[in-house]
Structure 1
């Protein structure tokens, strides 16, 4: 195994929190039982199947990552290919004569064991000088041999069955190369291709289930420079935009990971992410569900029946950990998950007096905003309370009722800012016989600045 330098290893450790979330995204879905329909079609992201599985399939046998990096003299590149290996588990029960027979379920006091594909984490590591890549493509083939093992299942001191686990042989290759990029700064384009090279073709009666044990599941790359940096593919500097636009990323997407402002570690993910993604600090643990909603999942999981929890614990050790987490979660942790709002504008502390009891989201609690006097620039003109505008609702973000107001004139009553920093214009429609009533009750129609046109003389 390649030894990654201590400095890079520490940075990789921090980046793996995000990489682990990618690795196990959708690994097992609520209610975490193998019998659940949604858990019968698994492994949805980054599945690299054997090339002989068929070119007309929805899944592919390779990933291609291209990005720009700025290495320094004598720099080294660390590459970590990470994926899950599907390990097929068979359940057998002890018979009266001491032999074993394969069964669909084995009921124990604390769990119900069923056949299942477990995910075993695998890593392929490389460390090589960047200058070596300039001399030509570097190819590293790898092979994980087939294997099998068994685990005795005991209850009350006696063996009641066993679990048989089998792993198929996996073959793959990593291809790395660089190319100089012309421009004002020294940069090179890194190309990293991961391929499944298994020499396997499915029998006529074998579908995706036969390919999965020979696939690289949730495959992704962690790339790190010992001294240099990577350029963002999502938001590159102006001088590099044209070169970044020429990068070919297939079946994966590279993003910067690590703390905000770090640019020495890059994650090439089969799930599209933004630069510097973060795991929610309130999250009490990994729930393995796609697009996790921690509070709902924790409450729903805790509400499962004892029998359902036994089935989940017998499905997978990771599912069992989710059940234990939900059962042991303190009330204060659940409270922390409830109603979390991110990216709030900074609100100045309110002055002392009777208004200090107002909630934080009340505009009257923030002296930085004044709905009655604030203005917003629309088509080069200031628009605020008292302005007349022509309504031009956008089709993509309004409901059908708003579309009926297209071309009507309206009076702006207030300029409002929401907690996400967006601006909204509260208006009453001119000619509406109920306008005075709506105004008295503080009930308005709301449009964004690009959905109105200022009227001359307003």
Structure 2
């Protein structure tokens, strides 16, 4: 498979999500604390800059097969920070100010950025004969826009970029090639101790590479073929991580990203546009944007044109598009056909009960067993002996009268339960194991699964949380019925009866969209791109490389 222009264009969508990750975060206002410290990924500072630990270069090493006579496309991409000042006109000239009003419009002093990219095409046979060095120059610029009572001054500093590309044949019988690309910021910067915002104007921000080959294939470093594992282990990547991009199985294009991703990351088709936060949920960000006050929306629009696009998109999104954000089914599992397990059966570690199966009374879940929505849950105190009562599709106003049966005991609003988290949804649950809680409601999600909304009995703020409707959420198989007042004797977050430290996070509404009514899609890197749509890259860990 070759790196056609179409393959490179398809890879750009994922690369753009990396390029703008963290560019501007909700609530998209310049005054928000989270938008005061910017540009966290892929920053290559000028050489000699000492005030931060950020590097001046990134090194990519990856493997090729069958590419000895191919052309290599190397496309460096990054953001070029652009200073934006607003100045008021006075008798003595123009004076910088934090903001400038021009009628109904507000203009803020807030840096933005413009994307930069270049493409270099190199024959692989030439690289095997010796390394090649390519130097790129990005000119600076300045622009002035005059307003009533002042002006806006934007400008960017000139940059110098160096690409050093080499290829070699590692020893061995397989004919694999090892490619090395070093991307350097070679900009001259005479202020090694300058404040970071000034150094960023001379830096490559969110720097990454797109690599394409016209013949042969790249090899995955995440999951290399067995015969190439030694060569893959010998690749050294500094401040970047190369992954295969394109359709599953495609190996003609590599994205070397400052954010760790899996092979073949994808942007969910349901996403209506960028939110610059691929670790958050599109639906949540959209709804939160709609809650901004008019003053906050005006400030967001004045902060950056891309922030203005987000606000305008949220206000104009039609209901059918919002419905697409709510969730998507990519695939369905097969229906269960086997008989229920015999009483006392212990499932093998890591097994997953099929949807619709009913564990027999006395069945004990094995460590690592994962309950599935649609199965009747089993708690550590015994099996659920009856189906969930009530209509799963009933509206939430019936939550007060809904009930589930756990270990032969009806659990409804006001019931006391002991928490035994087991679904690994939130690391915070290690502190909740063994705690006594009060059931505030029994809820059904859009898939018909039941969830218990609870408050902790020993939480001094329980009344406030109850008044606000802010609860912890657990599946019925994550609680045990209790009777009588008080906390479970001996139960605590670390070593209470039945506690499992570090195992069993809650199905908290903001952590597990599948565990709450009205869950929305996510664009969180690290999640299955086929399960929860979002605007960012799906299918990576999202950590800096």
Name the TM tier (shorter chain): 0.7 to 0.9
State the shift of 1:309 in Å: 1.2
Say whether the 8 Å CA contact 2:63–2:218 is kept in structure 1. yes
**Structure 2 matches for 1:418-433, cutoff 5 A?**
418=373, 426=378, 428-429=380-381
* Inter-partner Cα distance in structure 2 for 1:301 and 1:390: 46
**Match of 2:348?**
378
Q: 1:78 to 1:203 in 2, by over 3 A?
A: closer
Q: Provide, for residues 125-144 of structure 1, a one-character-per-residue CA deviation record: whole Å limited to 9, x for no partner.
A: 10010111101111112222
Q: 1:71 to 1:111 in 2, by over 3 A?
A: farther
SS in 1 for 2:254: strand
* TM-score calculated relative to the size of structure 1: 0.76
**Match of 2:540?**
none
Query: Which residue of 319, 333, 338 maps to 1:346?
Result: 333
**Match of 1:22?**
18
**Structure 2 matches for 1:159-308, cutoff 5 A?**
159-202=148-191, 204=193, 206-308=194-296
Say whether the 8 Å CA contact 1:64–1:194 is kept in structure 2. yes
SS in 1 for 2:262: coil
Say whether the 8 Å CA contact 1:220–1:270 is kept in structure 2. yes
Say whether the 8 Å CA contact 1:49–1:60 is kept in structure 2. yes
Residue 146, structure 1, aligned to residue 140, structure 2: yes
Relative to its length, the structure with more strand (as a share) is: 1
- The runs of 5 or more residues in structure 2 that have no matched partner are 383-404, 412-418, 424-497, 499-545
State the shift of 1:43 in Å: 0.2
Q: 1:428 to 1:50 in 2, by over 3 A?
A: closer
State the shift of 1:121 in Å: 0.7
Say whether the 8 Å CA contact 1:372–1:385 is kept in structure 2. yes
- The runs of 5 or more residues in structure 1 that have no matched partner are 1-5, 154-158, 348-365, 398-414, 431-436, 452-458
Query: Which residue of 27, 31, 35 maps to 1:31?
Result: 27
**Match of 1:456?**
none
SS in 2 for 1:200: coil
**Match of 2:432?**
none
Say whether the 8 Å CA contact 1:81–1:123 is kept in structure 2. yes
Query: Which residue of 42, 47, 53 maps to 1:46?
Result: 42
CA RMSD in angstroms, aligned pairs only: 3.5
Q: Provide, for residues 365-390 of structure 1, a one-character-per-residue CA deviation record: whole Å limited to 9, x for no partner.
A: x3446554798863899x99569888
Say whether the 8 Å CA contact 2:246–2:264 is kept in structure 1. yes
Q: Provide, for residues 135-154 of structure 1, a one-character-per-residue CA deviation record: whole Å limited to 9, x for no partner.
A: 1111112222332122234x
* Inter-partner Cα distance in structure 1 for 2:363 and 2:181: 54
* Inter-partner Cα distance in structure 1 for 2:31 and 2:329: 37
State the shift of 1:277 in Å: 0.6
Say whether the 8 Å CA contact 2:213–2:253 is kept in structure 1. yes
* Inter-partner Cα distance in structure 2 for 1:442 and 1:232: 52
Q: 1:216 to 1:386 in 2, by over 3 A?
A: same
**Match of 2:53?**
58
**Match of 2:446?**
none
Relative to its length, the structure with more helix (as a share) is: 1
* TM-score calculated relative to the size of structure 2: 0.64
Q: 1:185 to 1:210 in 2, by over 3 A?
A: same
State the shift of 1:242 in Å: 1.3
